[in-house]
Amino acid sequence: MIVPVLTLLLASSAPSATEELRFGVDVARKGLWLEARFRFERAVELDPDNASALNNLAIALEQQGEFDKAREAYERALKLKPKSTYIQQNYDLFRESDEKRNRKQKAKKP
């Protein structure tokens, strides 16, 4: 009976999506985007329908220049919480920046 008890102990000590999300926010505030991204990805793995985790993952991806992945994460978050003004505002700011970035890239091409 040692195996089930050990499994139970290990499972109970594993961080929850909420804990991963909280930790990710803390490190993001310190500018540690690689760690924040890792934590937000873990939160999404643990709870794929967590719109807040997806929104924060999108922000981390954007900070790391992963714009296509950021767009996907924002869009998934909005599908889950279409009435969230917070997520919508973040997505709108992202789209503005992304459009500006794309215009600059097109202007540079001969």
Task: Report CA torsion sign: 51, 76, 17, 2.
Answer: positive
- How far is 56 from 62, CA to CA, in rounded Å? 10
- Band (2; pLDDT cuts 50, 70, 90): very low
Q: Rounded mean pLDDT of 12-38?
A: 93
Give the residue, 109 or 33, on which the prediction is more confident.
Answer: 33
Q: Tens of pLDDT along 82-103?
A: 999 999 999 999 999 999 988 8
Measured distance CA(47)–CA(67) in Å, rounded: 22
Question: Which 8-state DSSP code applies to residue 14?
Answer: S
pLDDT tens-digit map of 27-81: 999 999 999 999 999 999 999 999 999 999 999 999 999 999 999 999 999 999 9
Residue 11's pLDDT band (cuts 50, 70, 90):
low
Domains of the chain in sequence order: 15-108 (1.25.40.10)
Structure token digits, residue 32: 């540690």
Q: Under the phi-then-psi rule, with left for phi > 0, alpha for psi from -120 to 50, and beta for the rest, what region is 45? A: alpha
pTM of the predicted model, to two decimals? 0.83
Residue 28 CB coordination number (10 Å): 19
d(CA 76, CA 102): 22
